[in-house]
């Protein structure tokens, strides 16, 4: 990967991975238009036995990711989140998903 200028966005896709305590991870790759920054489909890959089963974008009323309305639950393997689904959550550009981004576990039983 070549160096980018300070503050300059890397070209599409924008990838990040979150690992659990045994380094079993869930990753998300956002494809976007390099000119307009408009989001296209995002692909989530949940590795076998990874404890995290959801991507959390933004924060909710309590200021934490727990209460965010933007929760995308995914099974093991690859899951595509379409641009239409992202837009339904008002996630329209790559900058919209940078507000707070992490992964989460299923709710406690």
Partner 1 sequence: MAFGDQDASGPVFVKANVAGKNVTTGSFTPPSGALLIAFAWHDTAGGNLTNTSVVTDSLGLTWTRRATRSKQDDGAGAANGHIAISTAVATGAAMTVTTTGTNTGNPAGLYVRVIPGADTTTPMDATPVEGTTNAAVVSTSIVTATDGARCFLQVIDWNVAAAMTAGTGQTSVVSDAIGASDDRVYLGVTNAVTSPAGSTALSTGSPSTGNTNNWIGIAVRPAAGGGSVSGTAAATLGALAAGAAGTHIVSGTAAGALGVLAATASSTRAVQGTAAAALGHTTAAAAGTRTTAGTAAAALGTLAVTVIGRRTVLGAAAAPLGGATGHGDAGGAKSGSAVAALGVLAATIAGRRTVAGIAAAVLPGVTSPASGRRIVVGSPQSMLGGLSARVVVISSTALAGNAHGPLPVAPGAVTVHTVSIAGAIT
Which residues have CB under 8 Å from 11's CB, separation 6+? 34
Asked if 40 is part of the footprint of partner 1 (rule: CB under 8 A), the reply reads no
Contact 96, 90 (CB under 8 A): yes
CA distance 12 to 44: 15
Which one of 5, 48, 61, 84 is in contact with partner 1 (CB under 8 A)?
A: 5
Q: Which of residues 57-96 bind partner 1 (CB under 8 A)?
A: 59, 63-66, 94-95
Which one of 28, 39, 83, 103 is in contact with partner 1 (CB under 8 A)?
A: 103
Contact 42, 86 (CB under 8 A): yes
Tokens 């689904």 found at: 85
Which one of 48, 75, 84, 109 is in contact with partner 1 (CB under 8 A)?
A: 109
Q: In the complex, what is the shortest distance from the CB of residue 77 to partner 1, in angstroms, rounded to a whole number?
A: 18
Q: Which is nearer to partner 1, 20 or 41 (CB)?
A: 20
Q: Which is nearer to partner 1, 18 or 45 (CB)?
A: 18
Q: Which is nearer to partner 1, 82 or 90 (CB)?
A: 90
For 89, other C-beta atoms within 10 Å of its C-beta total 17
């Amino acid at each position: 990967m070549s160096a980018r200028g300070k503050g300059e966005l890397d070209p599409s896709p924008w990838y990040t991975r979150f690992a659990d305590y045994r380094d079993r991870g869930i990753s998300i790759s956002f494809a976007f238009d390099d000119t307009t920054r408009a989001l296209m489909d995002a692909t989530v890959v949940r590795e076998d036995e990874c404890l995290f089963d959801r991507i959390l974008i933004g924060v909710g009323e309590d200021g934490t990711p727990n209460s965010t309305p933007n929760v995308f639950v995914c099974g093991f393997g690859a899951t595509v989140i379409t641009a239409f689904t992202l837009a339904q959550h008002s996630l329209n550009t790559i900058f919209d998903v940078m507000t707070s981004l992490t992964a989460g576990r299923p709710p406690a039983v």
